C-alpha cells in the first residue's frame, strides 16, 4: 500500500505557512487548495482521512504559490461574484466581495423598471463580473460593457459569452455615444488608488492585478472625474450611476457628483464589512435638488 499523509496534518501545516506569509484567510485558502489538489468536494474533504504522497506534493506546490502571495483565484482559475462564476488569471483584475453590494444595488434599480426594457452600461468592466451579475439577476436588460485593456477584455469575452452583453474594447471616456440619454443605470468599478499609496496596497493586488485597474492619479480620482461626465452624457433623466471608491474617498467622491451640476440624490453606501465603498447619484433635468448629499447610516 502506498504511503499516505493525513489530511489534518496537511491542513494544519498549510495554515501555518499561509498565516506566516501574511495571507488574510489561511484556513479557507488551505481548504480550497486541498480541494483543487485532490479533486474532492468540500463534503468529501470532511470525511477523508489521508491522501497519497503524489497528491500531497501537488498540494504543497499550490501552497507554495499562495504563500508567495499569488492570488487564490489565479491558482484556481475561478472567481465567484454574487451568483456567478468567472474565469480569471494574469492580465485581469480579480473581482472582490466588496463590489457585490454595489452590483446588487444596480440590480434593484433595473428591476424597478417595468414599463420598458431597461438599459445598463458597465464601465471599466474588467473580468465582466458586474455585467455578468446584472445579466443573471436582471434578465431582459439591454446590457453593454467596455474595458480599456485588451488582456482584460479577453477574459471578459469568455465570461460574458452567451449572456447577450455587448462588450467593447475602448476608453470609457468615449463609450457608447449612440446610447447618449438612453441609459437607465451606469455602474463602474474604476481604478481609484492614489499613486502615493502604492506601498500600502495588498501584495496580491499590487503584484498581480493590472496597474491600469488599480491606480488613478495622485489622489486616485482621475477616472472618477471622467465618470461623472460620461454618466451625465449616457443617462436618461432620472437614470442612476453607481461607482466604487476607496474608504478614504467617502467624502471626495460624493462631492464630485454634487459639484457636477447634473445629479441629485447623491448618496454614499457601505460594503459588506461596513466600510464606505460606493457612491450613487441620479441624473436630474432641473435645478431642484441638485448637489444634495446623503450617506447610509
**78-114 pLDDT per residue, tens:** 999 999 999 999 888 889 889 999 999 999 999 999 9
The partner residues of 215 in beta bridges, in order of sequence, read 193
CA distances from residue 79 to 84, 97, 264 in whole angstroms, order as listed: 9, 10, 35
- List binding-site positions: 147, 189-192
- At the topology level, CATH places domain 4-68 in Helicase, Ruva Protein; domain 3 (1.10.8)
The beta strand positions in 176-262, using DSSP E, are 183-188, 235-244
pLDDT at 182: 97
- Exposed/middle/buried for residue 113 (C-beta within 10 Å: 0-12, 13-18, 19+): middle
Q: Specify binding-site residues for substrate.
A: 189-192
State pTM to two decimals.
0.86
Lookup: cell for 11? 491542513
Supply the pLDDT for residue 202.
65
Architecture of domain 79-295: 3-Layer(aba) Sandwich (3.40)
Query: CATH 3.40.50.150 in the chain, residues?
Result: 79-295
* pLDDT digit string, tens, across residues 220-253: 888 999 999 999 999 999 999 999 998 889 999 9
Going by C-alpha positions, the residue among 93, 98, 91, 80 that lies closest to residue 125 is: 93
Q: In the chain, which segments carry CATH 1.10.8.10?
A: 4-68
Are the beta carbons of 245 and 146 closer than 8 angstroms?
no
Q: Residue positions in the annotated binding site for S-adenosyl-L-methionine?
A: 147, 189
Per-residue pLDDT reduced to its tens digit, 48-77: 778 888 899 999 999 999 999 888 998 999
Amino acid at each position: 500500500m502506498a504511503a499516505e499523509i493525513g489530511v489534518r496534518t496537511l491542513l494544519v501545516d498549510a495554515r501555518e505557512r499561509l498565516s506566516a506569509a501574511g495571507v488574510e484567510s489561511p484556513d479557507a485558502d488551505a481548504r480550497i487548495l486541498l480541494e483543487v489538489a485532490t479533486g474532492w468536494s468540500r463534503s468529501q474533504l470532511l470525511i477523508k482521512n489521508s491522501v497519497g504522497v503524489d497528491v500531497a506534493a501537488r498540494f504543497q506546490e499550490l501552497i507554495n504559490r499562495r504563500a508567495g502571495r499569488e492570488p487564490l483565484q489565479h491558482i484556481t482559475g475561478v472567481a465567484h461574484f454574487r451568483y456567478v462564476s468567472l474565469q480569471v488569471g494574469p492580465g485581469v483584475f480579480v473581482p472582490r466581495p466588496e463590489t457585490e453590494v454595489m452590483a446588487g444595488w444596480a440590480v434593484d434599480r433595473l428591476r424597478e423598471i417595468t414599463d420598458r426594457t431597461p438599459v445598463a452600461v458597465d464601465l471599466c468592466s474588467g473580468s465582466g463580473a458586474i455585467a455578468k451579475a446584472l445579466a443573471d439577476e436582471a434578465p431582459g436588460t439591454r446590457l453593454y460593457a467596455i474595458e480599456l485593456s485588451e488582456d482584460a477584455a479577453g477574459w471578459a469575452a469568455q465570461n460574458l459569452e452567451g449572456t447577450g452583453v455587448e462588450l467593447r474594447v475602448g476608453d470609457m471616456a468615449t463609450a457608447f455615444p449612440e446610447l447618449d440619454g438612453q441609459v437607465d443605470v451606469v455602474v463602474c468599478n474604476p481604478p481609484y488608488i492614489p499613486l502615493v499609496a502604492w506601498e500600502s496596497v495588498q501584495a496580491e493586488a499590487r503584484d498581480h492585478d493590472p496597474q491600469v485597474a488599480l491606480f488613478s492619479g495622485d489622489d486616485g480620482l482621475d477616472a472618477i472625474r471622467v465618470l461623472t461626465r460620461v454618466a451625465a452624457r449616457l443617462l436618461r433623466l432620472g437614470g442612476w450611476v453607481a461607482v466604487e471608491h476607496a474608504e478614504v474617498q467617502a467624502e471626495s467622491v460624493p462631492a464630485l457628483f454634487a459639484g457636477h451640476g447634473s445629479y441629485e440624490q447623491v448618496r454614499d453606501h457601505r460594503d459588506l464589512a461596513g466600510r464606505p465603498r460606493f457612491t450613487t447619484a441620479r441624473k436630474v433635468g432641473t435645478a431642484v435638488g441638485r448637489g444634495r448629499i446623503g450617506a447610509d447610516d
